[in-house]
Amino acid sequence: MIDPKFIKENKAKVLANNKSRGVSIDLDKLLRLYDQRNEQQAEIEQKRNTRNKNSKTKPTPEIIKAMKTLGEELNTLEMNLRVTEDELNDLLYQLPNMNWVDTPIGASDQDNKIIKTVGEMSEFDFMALDHIELGLRLDLIDVEKGTALSGNRFWYLKNQLVDLEMALINFAWKKMRQAGFLPMAVPHLVREKAMFGTGFFPAEINEIYKVNPGEDDLFLIGTAEVPLINYHADEVLDLSQPKKYFALTPAYRREAGSYGQDTKGILRGHQFDKIEMVIFCEPAQSESCHQEILSLEESIYQALELPYHVVNICTGDLGAVAAKKYDLEAWMPGQNKYREITSCTNATDYQARRLNIRYSKDGKKELCHTLNGTVMALGRTMIAIMENYQSKDGSIMIPKALQKYLDFKEIKK
RNA sequence: GGAGAGUUGGCAGAGCGGUCGAAUGCGACAGUCUUGAAAACUGUUAUCCCUGCAAGGGGAUCGGGGGUUCGAAUCCCUCACUCUCCGCCA
């Protein structure tokens, strides 16, 4: 959420910002509602003052009569105020975050900027297979059974691929502990409030599973970011050191807008395991924290010796929450493409304002900045390993960094 | 799933329709005393919003929301959470 006061003082900036993100929100209407809200508020407070003054002791019958009328007026005014506030909040919730200074301006993912490339695209002197074929031949993935059980975009992972997932988790876990992040195990079902607070609602409401509508009204998390960021909701933090957490959870996603995309294999599913990290910090530190997250992600994929590049995501592709976002995309020979494997976001104070997460400095309380990043998307990392580490005989080598977590060095028939 | 009891300031805990943003105790902070400290004494001690250069003024907040009333921490409804008992359960 953006501070309405900021919008009032920087209307042109906000307008340009919205345009860069392909969002059109009626700012004049928003500001009109904001002024109207403040006027209505002032009128109500004035009338309440009168009432409070007359209610200190038992009033005379005449005053009671006058106060009764005043009370009715107040009721009407309060109702009007509520309507104004609802309309105002509706618009405020839709407003995306302000761009960071070096966020590339652009309309779609075509305009994302590749800022770094590490490693060489794997080349094979044989016909390289994709993870689906490899998974089938080595009995590692069963999509058909998953589909039969739960519908499309569900699958079973089997055998050494599951061992590999565990190894990846152990490997990443150790990295995160060494980097000073605190491990958390978190709820996977959350209230609507948590989804709004982290900015997933209203923008991505169609992407989220709702559980027992009308009864429990809980939502399945699409990322551990939601419970991790909400952990400090309504708190005043001591941020002399940034607070850093990570958690392993499944990510549940409806993939409502992606019919027909990536329908084969395990590239895009309704459920995948992911390790996620978040940082709470002072505003002055969020840029360096963002770099820290990015270099952690890079160090992980460098240790796995997977070729990747780093992308600075452009305004049109950012989503509502991010001021700036980097993606890591790994080279996937089977797809003949670089595909997203991690993503890290500087949300500045956008989530902190919605969730009222503050820190105190020199006796003053200010909104903090929040950041989040993928430590490891397990499914896609496994695809990258399968496709990059395949051999001519159809087996898959295990990256050196993972070998100490496994009792095999290759997956073969 | 069934029955009951709660939720008040940093903490403990009064208040049960008007002068209550809230007694009292503890804690914290400042001062007096002391070579220093402790003790004792004195004073200060919630948050948010609006307005103002400031001093100040106004409003809201006693778990959240709604209602009754001229007036709500206090009465009613509702939601959330906590606790006790019974049942079920990895």
Whether residues A54 and A138 share a domain: the answer is no
Identify whether A100 is part of a domain: no
A41 nearest nucleotide via C1' and CA: B50
Last residue of a domain, one of A94, A121, A145: A94
Q: What is the pLDDT of residues A219-267, one digit of tens each?
A: 999 999 999 999 998 888 888 899 999 999 999 999 988 888 898 899 9
What are the residue numbers of the active site of A?
253, 268, 340, 343, 380
Distance (Å, whole) CA A32 – CA A286: 33
Distance (Å, whole) CA A37 – CA A166: 54
pLDDT at A380: 97
Distance (Å, whole) CA A86 – CA A25: 16
Which residues of chain A have a pLDDT value below 50?
none
Q: What is the pLDDT of residues A203-221, one digit of tens each?
A: 899 999 998 888 888 999 9
Identify whether A104 is part of a domain: no
Whether residues A47 and A114 share a domain: the answer is no
**Nearest by Cα to A381 from A85, A219, A194, A167:** A167
Q: What is the pLDDT of residues A180-198, one digit of tens each?
A: 999 999 999 999 999 999 9
- Strand B: list positions under 7 Å from protein Cβ: 18-19, 47-51, 58-60, 66-67, 69-71
State which amino acid sits at residue A186.
Answer: V
Last residue of a domain, one of A94, A118, A137: A94
Protein side of the strand B interface (CB < 7 A): A 5, 38, 41-42, 44-46, 48-49, 51-59, 64, 67-68, 70-71, 75, 82, 365
- CA dihedral defined by A48, A52, A58, A60, rounded to 10 degrees? -50
A103 CA to B52 C1' distance (Å) = 39
Taking residue A125's Cβ as centre, other Cβ atoms within 10 Å add up to 6
A63 nearest nucleotide via C1' and CA: B70
Distance (Å, whole) CA A339 – CA A293: 19
Whether residues A282 and A252 share a domain: the answer is yes
A208 CA to B77 C1' distance (Å) = 33
pLDDT at A240: 86
A232 CA to B38 C1' distance (Å) = 39
Identify whether A349 is part of a domain: yes
Whether residues A221 and A290 share a domain: the answer is yes
- For A45, A231, A268, A326, A346, the CA distances from A184, given in Å and listed in that order, are 45, 10, 26, 24, 21
Identify whether A103 is part of a domain: no
Whether residues A220 and A118 share a domain: the answer is yes
- Total domains in chain A come to 2
Last residue of a domain, one of A94, A124, A145: A94
Whether residues A159 and A243 share a domain: the answer is yes
pLDDT at A260: 82
A364 CA to B41 C1' distance (Å) = 33
Whether residues A189 and A45 share a domain: the answer is no
| Burial environment of residue A347 by CB neighbours within 10 A (0 to 12, 13 to 18, 19 or more) | buried
Tokens 């609802």 correspond to A86
Whether residues A80 and A186 share a domain: the answer is no
Distance (Å, whole) CA A346 – CA A287: 8
- Provide the domain limits for residue A197: 109-411
This complex has an ipTM of 0.87
